[in-house]
Chain A
Amino acid sequence: MQQSDPSAQFGRSTVTLEVNGTTRVIEVEARTTLAQALRGPLGLTGTKIACDRGACGACTVWLDGSPVCSCMLLAVGVGHRQVTTIEGLATADELHPVQQAFIDEDAVQCGFCTPGMVMSCAALLNDQPDCQPDDVRAAISGNLCRCGTYPHVLAAMHRLRKDPAP
């Protein structure tokens, strides 16, 4: 048995997280979710919290490159895995292609689902550059958009699809 911190019994412990390629050390309670840690002590408010139950996907970030609901992970449980948030996608002067395609296809209305939606789409594009519409539908099946932008999300992803090598 290894206790991450002797003060864990009293609720707070020091956690080291790898976020967007940077090592960050924060003080959190064991009950702090990754989503809360990102938006609170880490100041990365691009990640949204809506349902807080893993049911809507607004809080989607990558853990070692795979999309996860950050509201259903404890910050103390993340360990050495690499966290990538919406802030980690764009470079200083260039948007990620998925972000640009969302703008070009008007795939945003109220915008609350958008960071999570973009993270799911960008992960799919990494894994499957030749993704078909059904692959996109499956990839965003955990992201709810109550404005109903889904057709525009599909159009954005259609722009980016690389045809498989002949």
Chain B
Amino acid sequence: MMKRFAWTTAESPSAAASAASTICAEAMALTDGATDGAIVMAGGIDLLDLMKEGLLAPARLIGLRDIADFGAIDLERDGARLGAGITLAALAADARIRRRYPALAAAAAGAASPQIRNVATLGGNLLQRPRCWYFRSRHHRCLRRGGVHCFAHDGDNRYHAIFDNRRCAIVHPSTLATVLVALGADVQLTDAAGGSRRLPLEVFLTPPAGDLTRENILQPREILHAVHLPPISEGIRMAHSKRGEKDAFDWPLAEVAVVLDLEPGGRCRDAAVILGAAAPAPHRAVNAARQLVGAVIDEKRATAAAAAAIEDATPLADNGHKLPLFEALVRRTIMAAAQGRLEDSILR
């Protein structure tokens, strides 16, 4: 049973930010997650899970469901604005998103279960805490919860990071983040005065070096308000794929998002290859992208890029199986993107 808390609702983003005196990460770095502060809740799927597990006990929750337009999708001339409160189901079903950002719609459609997708939001998906079983255990006070030890290093680390895993070996839990970083999305954060700051999602998901207690730079008195997607020009191709132990309702063992910008003749102008379930943040495979830029993409080129994607991995005792998995997935996802057709997706 969850500890008692008070419930209020906010009717505007700035009112929500004003009431949000703390954030989940701040409270969870304390011994029992108990805080006198208030935390915002959209769908609540991850928040209630943490509270039921005894990892988080806020004095107050602030519901965001009454905020107008929090779940809106606006197609702008130069891209799209997604309200952070949109559900994964609504994102997956939106015909415009499916047409213009098919990899994003596919990722949303493949996350969790139908019941969860009908409640879980875009913002919550990006801000959910990691799934590491030591982090999620009341009995282990790990580095990420303010302790001094990463239990994954000596423990069972079959699902853990293969990059950037020297101190804390979590993988970032958000499937949507993998695709959104590949797309070059921005996040819009709104503060208590109604002011907004907008920054690349990739920057948002990079906490200060050495701060292992959080996966992003959201501050108290601030809410994740919206995600902005860049425009889709004529040569843009994208794909997302993932593999888990189950085909549905499972966290991926490996996932890959690829966004390519192809010249009319097929030569690759620009490429983003992002690995999910690979590192504490969506992992940009810079060397893989380098293999693609300037080339016409074929099976041979994709194979070279896939090898480059994992060449600097540092697998742990139990997760070496992720390397061939990622290598195959990177190659296939590059080919799927290169062969993809997005004729209808071009904004006129």
- Lowest 8 CB-CB distances: which A-B pairs, in order? A142-B113, A141-B248, A30-B7, A31-B2, A66-B118, A142-B115, A69-B115, A76-B7
Give the docked Cα–Cα distance between A31 and B52 (Å). Answer: 10
B112: chain A residues within 8 A (beta carbon): 142
CB distance from B283 to the nearest CB of A (A): 27
Tell me which of A8, A54, A63 has the highest count of chain B C-beta atoms within 10 A of its own C-beta: A54
Interface residues on chain B, size class:
35 or more
Binding site for A on B (CB under 8 A): 1-11, 15, 18-19, 41, 44-45, 48-49, 51-52, 61-63, 65-66, 89, 112-116, 118-119, 248-249
Whether A4 sits at the interface, judged by CB under 8 Å, is yes
Q: Name 25 A/B residue pairs within 8 A (Cβ), A-sorted.
A: A1-B8, A1-B9, A1-B18, A1-B62, A2-B8, A2-B9, A2-B10, A2-B66, A8-B6, A11-B6, A30-B5, A31-B3, A54-B49, A54-B113, A57-B115, A72-B48, A74-B44, A74-B48, A74-B61, A76-B7, A77-B63, A137-B248, A141-B248, A142-B116, A142-B249
A138: chain B residues within 8 A (beta carbon): 114, 248
CB distance from A66 to the nearest CB of B (A): 4
B249: chain A residues within 8 A (beta carbon): 141-142
Give the docked Cα–Cα distance between A57 and B115 (Å). Answer: 8
Cβ-defined contact, A68 with B115, below 8 A = yes
Select A4's contact among B4, B9, B18, B19, beta carbons within 8 Å. B9
B65: chain A residues within 8 A (beta carbon): 77, 79
B44: chain A residues within 8 A (beta carbon): 72-74, 77
B51: chain A residues within 8 A (beta carbon): 31
Give the docked Cα–Cα distance between A9 and B8 (Å). Answer: 9
Residues 45-101 of A contacting B (Cβ, < 8 Å): 52-54, 57, 60, 63, 66-69, 72-74, 76-77, 79
Cβ-defined contact, A68 with B7, below 8 A = no
Binding site for B on A (CB under 8 A): 1-4, 8-9, 11, 13, 29-31, 33, 52-54, 57, 60, 63, 66-69, 72-74, 76-77, 79, 120, 137-139, 141-142
Select B89's contact among A9, A11, A66, beta carbons within 8 Å. A66
B118: chain A residues within 8 A (beta carbon): 63, 66-68
Give the docked Cα–Cα distance between A16 and B160 (Å). Answer: 44
Interface of B: prevailing SS: mixed
**Chain B: which residue is nearest A139 at the CB level?**
B114
**Chain A: which residue is nearest B109 at the CB level?**
A138
Cβ-defined contact, B115 with A30, below 8 A = no
Cβ-defined contact, A141 with B113, below 8 A = yes
Cβ-defined contact, A30 with B6, below 8 A = yes
**Chain A: which residue is nearest B117 at the CB level?**
A142
Cβ-defined contact, B63 with A72, below 8 A = no
Give the docked Cα–Cα distance between A73 and B119 (Å). Answer: 8
Give the docked Cα–Cα distance between A139 and B248 (Å). Answer: 10
Give the docked Cα–Cα distance between A11 and B3 (Å). Answer: 10
Select B116's contact among A9, A31, A54, A137, beta carbons within 8 Å. A54
Cβ-defined contact, A31 with B4, below 8 A = yes
A68: chain B residues within 8 A (beta carbon): 115, 118-119
CB distance from B35 to the nearest CB of A (A): 15
Cβ-defined contact, B7 with A13, below 8 A = yes
B41: chain A residues within 8 A (beta carbon): 77
B5: chain A residues within 8 A (beta carbon): 30-31
Cβ-defined contact, B10 with A1, below 8 A = yes
A77: chain B residues within 8 A (beta carbon): 7, 41, 44, 63, 65
A1: chain B residues within 8 A (beta carbon): 8-11, 15, 18-19, 62
Cβ-defined contact, A9 with B52, below 8 A = no
CB distance from A57 to the nearest CB of B (A): 6
